[in-house]
Structure 1
Amino acid sequence: MPFELELPEIFNAADYFVDRNVREGRGAKTAIRCGTNQFSYSDVQAGVNRFGNSLKSLGVRMEERIALLMLDTELFPQAFFGSIKMGAIPICLNTLMRPKDYEYFLNDSRARVLVIDAHLLPSIEPIRKKLKFLHHVIVVNGDAPAGDLQINTLWAGQSEQLDCAETKPDDACFWLYSSGSTGLPKGTVHLHRDMVYSCETYGKQVLGVKEGDICFSAAKLFFAYGLGNGLYFPFSVGATAVYMPDRPTPEAVFQTIKENKPTLFFGVPTLYASMLEAEGSLTGVRLCVSAGEALPADILKRWKERFSVDILDGIGSTELVHIFISNYPNEIHPGSTGRLVPGHEAKIVDEQMEEVPQGEVGTLLVKSGSAAAYYWNKREKTQQTMLGPWLNTGDKFFMDEQGLFFYAGRTDDMLKVGGIWLSPIEVEACIIAHPAVLECAVVAATDPENLVKPKAYIVLKSGHQPSDDLANDIKQHVKSTLAPYKYPRWIEFIDELPKTATGKIKRFKLRIPGDDEE
């Protein structure tokens, strides 16, 4: 569905998401809740301005990169928008990585400044001498080692007034690094217009986010899904964001919901499955959202039965900044990813880039006004993925006669069994419907004749023990539900599935057991 975003020639995203709320009379409105603390839009604006002025005092210039290795606290949006407002480019870094990963991120991006939570400093210490371009380290939420800067000291005395840099809608605004599941992570360069486009399409036309909403995202701010959920969606309408810096265990999530009564809750399928096994309620929540992996129909069904709240399943990507296909309120199709989000176009193609017939599986291409401009220093990858106005998602889909999209897995995850393509997602959804199964992953394995067959790695619910009888019962469950060739020939029970920080299953690690490399 066509959608034209009209922005002025001079446009700065920090002005739109922060200053505009104050100009329009929401200065006293609560923008952020974090623990027992609350911060108004005026408080956030003051922090944004002090942070931007602090960067200027360090000699940071327009378009220089500022790496953010930060937990979800009120300081994240101040550093993020403070960088943007003075013309620099923040880079949101995954807080769960290893020192060698940070060496790559910081050297690849040539970040001049690193803003880091104090307790994450041990991840940086081993690589300090290898960082070729880093000039300053700003420590937040704790003491700074000798030679580093502590945020409170740095911005003490800094003005709470700051003029926006004269950026344009098509200027680089922020970076997100891809997960790197198919090679080295790629610096994905987004523009000042991209967050606004996502707010005007998915945020307002699918979520229906409004000023009175309270948004809580268990998915963290450092990646694309969480950044929209917990920052620019609520800030686009003057709503309230709830931050939880701790790990999102079911218990911690339920406690945060109890204390803050969010109206919109954002999670991933793994978390929803775990929450179904824990005690808690969703008091105040009007709508839940899921992305990161396809949401199994059985989880959706049990969630609705228990909490009487819908989950909108959707798919997004780092390159497209957020969700571009989604189920809609009052139009939920279990097992389907849903329909196109307004402002997005899609087509499903074969290996020759020709559109496939309806119902056939192919690779999904998407056209969107929020698509990244390019990958930093990755010309070949940019050309392979960004095909003119179309972005190659690398996801396999098919579309039915109603125009609903169904996820079939990543291109590298598809199995060919007996000459027929098989989607691991379909088999996983079937296995998860078994009453003993908490979560699972299906990958390719080979039999003694070197023929490809599906293998399932299964995490059981509490109270169930691995056994040959249970494995056979699960196999029979799949045989009786799907075509016989789709059942897993082997089942391995494990305690935990390997996952990315975004909750996606690392199937490549299951295909190559013991491989710890990205």
Structure 2
Amino acid sequence: MPEVFNATDYLVDRHLREGGGARTALVTPTRSLTYEELSREVRRVAAGLRALGVRPEERVLMCMVDDVELFTAVLAAFHIGAVAVPASTMLTGAELGQLIADSRCRALLGSAEFAPVVRAALRQAPEVRHTVLTGDDSSGLPPHVRGHTWRQLPAADADDGPYATWPDSPALWLYTSGTTGKPKAAMHRHINIKYVAENYGQRVLGIGPEDRCLSVAKLFFAYGIGNSLFFPLAAGATALLEPSRPSPALFAKRAAGDRATILFGTPSFFGPLLAGADIPDDAFGTVRLGVSAGEALPARMYEGMLQRYGVEVLDGIGSTEMLHIFVSNRTGRVRPGSSGTPVPGYAVELRDAEGQLVEGEGTPGELYVRGESAATGYWCRAATSRQVFLGDWVRTGDTYVRNADCTYTCMGRTNDLLKAGGIWVSPAEVEERLLAHPDVAEVAVVGVPDADGLDKPVACVVPRPGREVDADALVAWCREGLASFKRPRGVIGLAELPRTPTGKIRRNVLRDMARDGSWAEAP
């Protein structure tokens, strides 16, 4: 028989056995739980899920804000051997219904804030039997669903302890769709949680019991669930959860008020944070380290965070398929604009379109990664799984180059590269130049075919507050800092960039927008 390994026992109950039960595990704007109190609440929720009839390896889908209920629900699912499926809170009822039907879950947990979305989703989910909502109202559900409030969650007489899961037992599904395509669930094992917590959380970030982790990314992201749950709990540290939508002012207040020591963000957060004149320069005085992922962090944002707030931000690349970051910069050894070097326990390669190794510095290739935290595949997506999971290796879909110092720099998604004048152009390189302009807050560069079918780079720009988009000035700015063929041939001003429910830029939407010809080609 395989050895027994349960992720909740590793993340929570282990600390009680080691004498750490009195340490603070979780802090929200309204509550604080020690490890002992967290263990008690997890067992209560676990007993309730068992009483609802949830069995080992059955899926429990969660559409919930980042608060105590979602935190304990994920751990409770692990505890009873079920599969936690945290879903994006930005989905419509129809989109959530698709995930419910795809996962074939029989129990759905939701926050009161999303009750209308949950009710709409359940109309196309005949297999769901129980829905548990926070708040006081569980009415209005379809006849085939029995509704409960969180306080009414049925509790068994006694908790039998963690289910005897194995390292390879299924623990977590995370839905991903990239920037296009239908959602697909990457399936992760119990042991994957230990791998990412120890190889990245502890060996790269050095997280220890005194750390307090604050994350912009929510728990339904692979990035967010690592930042706010796996990493702090594995180290006996403290998770700082924020239920509200992140904003620079809110997170500056939380970081200062709750003495955050590690700030996990994204470029789309750090950009507005640096542009915010009303944020005190000492707002992040307790933060010893920043982390960025999701998109490549421009060098100017790294330098800006260091100069203004005194926070060194480690950029890295991770993926839902690998559960968290597998290439990262290191403290004191950051190469601005790069993703750094492989995390301990991981190996990477660059390959060409035929799958052959790309040799030499500066030669673009698709990034492949190997590591023990890889998902076992996509749920019921055999053809797609065979394209992505190739033996020990996983195709990332990102184009990278290896630098002379063995760091790796992102050139963009493999299918986002474009040719201008017959020469390959990386959107990421043009975007980095534009982000250095004082008028630009966010930007995405896409390729749009002209009348002859030739791609032309078009920049979709969100200006900084109080600034305007001056197309001629931005094109001239690029001419000064880039080879002429890389310059945008057009500029579109936008109030915001369209994003997927997981926060990635929807470049397909921008390409469609640019194709309508509403921009004038610049010389």
Which residues in structure 2 correspond to 1:474-489 (within 5 Å)?
474-489=474-489
Tell me what 1:104 maps to: 98
Q: 1:217 to 1:27 in 2, by over 3 A?
A: same
Post-superposition CA distance 1:65-107 (Å, at most 9, x none): 1001111101222111111111111101000111111111000
Q: 1:508 to 1:57 in 2, by over 3 A?
A: same
Post-superposition CA distance 1:51-70 (Å, at most 9, x none): 11111111221111100111
Measured in 2, the distance between the counterparts of 1:332 and 1:224 equals 23
Whether 2:41 is the aligned partner of 1:41: answer no
Q: Which moved more, 1:316-325 or 1:132-141?
A: 132-141
- Secondary structure, aligned partner of 1:403: coil
Amino acid at match of 1:28: A
Q: 1:201 to 1:141 in 2, by over 3 A?
A: farther
Q: CA deviation at 1:383?
A: 0.3
Gaps of at least 5 residues in structure 1 are 1-6
Which residues in structure 2 correspond to 1:227-306 (within 5 Å)?
227-278=225-276, 279-280=278-279, 281-306=283-308
Q: Contact 2:38–2:72 (CA<8 Å) still a contact in 1?
A: yes
Q: Which moved more, 1:174-183 or 1:37-46?
A: 174-183
Measured in 2, the distance between the counterparts of 1:244 and 1:148 equals 27
Tell me what 1:187 maps to: 185
Whether 2:511 is the aligned partner of 1:511: answer yes
Q: CA deviation at 1:210?
A: 0.4
TM-score (norm 2): 0.94
Q: CA deviation at 1:514?
A: 9.6
Q: CA deviation at 1:159?
A: 5.0
Amino acid at match of 1:449: D
Which residues in structure 2 correspond to 1:38-437 (within 5 Å)?
38-145=32-139, 147-155=146-154, 158=156, 161-278=159-276, 279-280=278-279, 281-358=283-360, 359-437=362-440
Q: Give the share of equivalent positions with the same residue, in percent.
A: 38
Measured in 1, the distance between the counterparts of 2:468 and 2:270 equals 22
- Secondary structure, aligned partner of 1:376: coil
Amino acid at match of 2:47: N
Which residues in structure 2 correspond to 1:495-510 (within 5 Å)?
495-510=495-510
Q: CA deviation at 1:411?
A: 1.5
Tell me what 1:454 maps to: 457
Post-superposition CA distance 1:425-478 (Å, at most 9, x none): 000000000111111110001234332110001111122223xxx321211111
Q: Contact 1:47–1:160 (CA<8 Å) still a contact in 2?
A: no
Q: Contact 2:434–2:477 (CA<8 Å) still a contact in 1?
A: yes
- Secondary structure, aligned partner of 1:193: helix
Amino acid at match of 2:310: S
Q: Which moved more, 1:249-258 or 1:392-401?
A: 249-258
Q: Paired residues, what number?
A: 505
Tell me what 2:519 maps to: none
Measured in 2, the distance between the counterparts of 1:129 and 1:487 equals 49
Measured in 2, the distance between the counterparts of 1:143 and 1:393 equals 43
Q: Contact 1:119–1:142 (CA<8 Å) still a contact in 2?
A: no
Measured in 2, the distance between the counterparts of 1:56 and 1:326 equals 40
Q: 1:306 to 1:159 in 2, by over 3 A?
A: farther
Q: Contact 2:367–2:399 (CA<8 Å) still a contact in 1?
A: yes
Q: CA deviation at 1:142?
A: 4.3
Q: Contact 2:218–2:225 (CA<8 Å) still a contact in 1?
A: yes
Q: Which moved more, 1:135-144 or 1:231-240?
A: 135-144
Measured in 2, the distance between the counterparts of 1:70 and 1:503 equals 17
Q: Contact 1:52–1:85 (CA<8 Å) still a contact in 2?
A: yes
Q: Contact 1:217–1:229 (CA<8 Å) still a contact in 2?
A: yes
Q: 1:142 to 1:95 in 2, by over 3 A?
A: farther
Q: CA deviation at 1:114?
A: 0.3
Measured in 2, the distance between the counterparts of 1:449 and 1:180 equals 29
Measured in 2, the distance between the counterparts of 1:164 and 1:422 equals 52
Gaps of at least 5 residues in structure 2 are 141-145, 516-523
Whether 2:28 is the aligned partner of 1:26: answer no
Q: CA deviation at 1:199?
A: 1.0
Measured in 2, the distance between the counterparts of 1:87 and 1:335 equals 41
TM-score (norm 1): 0.95
**Runs ≥4 in structure 1, deviation > 6 angstroms?**
none
Tell me what 2:473 maps to: 473
Q: Contact 2:179–2:504 (CA<8 Å) still a contact in 1?
A: no
Q: Which moved more, 1:8-17 or 1:348-357?
A: 8-17
Whether 2:442 is the aligned partner of 1:439: answer yes
Q: Contact 1:49–1:159 (CA<8 Å) still a contact in 2?
A: no
Q: CA deviation at 1:421?
A: 1.4
Post-superposition CA distance 1:313-356 (Å, at most 9, x none): 01100000000011111111111111010100010000111011
Measured in 1, the distance between the counterparts of 2:84 and 2:121 equals 21
